[in-house]
Amino acid sequence: DIQMTQSPSSLSASVGDRVTITCRASQSISSYLNWYQQKPGKAPKLLIYAASSLQSGVPSRFSGSGSGTDFTLTISSLQPEDFATYYCQQSYSSFTFGPGTKVDIK
């Protein structure tokens, strides 16, 4: 089974900050990596699919990169509505989510 890790597990940031979240797979998953945002009490929302493709309607301040085992989600300028938990997820072999990264207000 493919295991996913994320770092950091949580971070505090200010509006306007550049934020980077890292996701690592236990084996190569090519570009079969997706990123989700989840706010309390709400369903997750797809942000990035296939490692770097921006889902329709998602602001361009979100971007994804990487391939193989190492991936990054970047928020170029953090906005108040971006405070949430972010999950990576692989779809290369079955499906596995990372443990999540909580982004809160500094």
Partner 1 sequence: EVQLVESGGGLVQPGGSLRLSCAASGFTVSSNYMSWVRQAPGKGLEWVSVIYSGGSTYYADSVKGRFTISRDNSKNTLYLQMNSLRAEDTAVYYCANSPTDAFDIWGQGTMVTVSS
Residues at the site binding partner 1, with contacts judged by CB under 8 A: 32, 34, 36, 38, 43-46, 49-50, 55, 87, 89, 91, 94-100
Shortest spacing between CB 75 and partner 1, in angstroms: 19
C-alpha–C-alpha distance, residues 101 and 32, integer Å: 19
| Residue 22 or 96 having the CB closest to partner 1 | 96
Which CB, 68 or 99, lies closer to partner 1?
Answer: 99
For the bound state, the minimum distance from the C-beta of residue 15 to partner 1, rounded and expressed in Å, comes to 26
With H, G, I as helix, E, B as strand and everything else as coil, classify residue 39: coil
Give the integer Cα–Cα distance in Å for 74 and 2: 23
Nearer to partner 1, 34 or 82 (CB): 34
* Residues 2 and 65: beta-carbon distance below 8 Å: no
Helix (H, G, I), strand (E, B), or coil: what is residue 82? helix
Q: Are strands 85-90 and 62-67 parallel, antiparallel or unpaired?
A: unpaired
CB of 88 to partner 1, least distance (A): 10
CB nearer to partner 1: give 68 or 100.
100
